[in-house]
């Protein structure tokens, strides 16, 4: 009798396993796909564009004002072939322990300079810092080119 109960329990357990095998539960992907009724969110309202300032050079380190009236009053800048006397420090490059500077000369050429190189006929690069180039002229005067210059006052 004990053997019959054990055999019946084993048969019932295997029947339940086979019953689950023939009728499996739905996969989680099917359940999620059926219950996910979503839509893309509505787009955000577009903000109106702000106009650029009339004189962009006061906010960005530039050479010439962007307004046509200010550019028309300075005929020397508008004529082609003229040179300006200001240099621009574009970046400082560090390779190991050595620093070099990328500068833009008055003719808009990009130069790579190291300490001791000539900036122009009268000035020599004295020192390079992470955000500045320090120069010295032949008379002993010094100056610096800043990587991030302060904006010009209005």
Q: Which pLDDT score, from 0 to 100, does residue 78 have?
A: 41
The pLDDT of residue 39 is above 80: no
The pLDDT of residue 28 is above 50: yes
Higher pLDDT, 57 or 53: 53
Domain layout of the chain by residue ranges: 2-27, 56-146
**15-22 contacts at long range (C-beta below 8 A, 24 or more positions apart):** none
In contact, 105 and 87? CB cutoff 8 Å: yes
In contact, 133 and 144? CB cutoff 8 Å: yes
In contact, 136 and 124? CB cutoff 8 Å: yes
The pLDDT of residue 60 is above 60: no
The verdict on domain 56-146 having CATH code 2.30.30.830 is yes
54-68, 77-91, 119-133: least confident range: 54-68
Higher pLDDT, 21 or 90: 90
**What pTM does this model have?**
0.44
Alpha helices in 23-129 (DSSP H): 28-35, 68-73, 75-78
């Amino acid at each position: 009798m004990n053997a019959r109960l054990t055999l019946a329990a084993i048969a019932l357990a295997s029947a339940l396993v086979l019953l689950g095998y023939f009728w499996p539960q739905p996969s989680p992907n099917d359940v999620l796909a059926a219950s996910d009724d979503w839509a893309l969110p509505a787009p955000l309202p577009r903000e109106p564009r702000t106009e650029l300032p009339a004189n962009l050079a006061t906010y960005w380190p530039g050479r010439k004002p962007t307004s046509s009236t200010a550019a028309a009053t300075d005929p020397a800048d508008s004529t082609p072939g003229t040179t300006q006397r200001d240099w621009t420090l574009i970046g400082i490059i560090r390779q190991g322990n050595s620093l070099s500077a990328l500068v833009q000369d008055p003719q808009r050429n990009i130069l790579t300079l190291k300490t001791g190189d000539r900036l122009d006929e009268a000035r020599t690069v004295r020192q390079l810092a992470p955000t500045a180039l320090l120069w010295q002229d032949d008379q002993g005067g010094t100056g610096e080119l800043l990587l991030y210059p302060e904006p010009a006052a209005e």
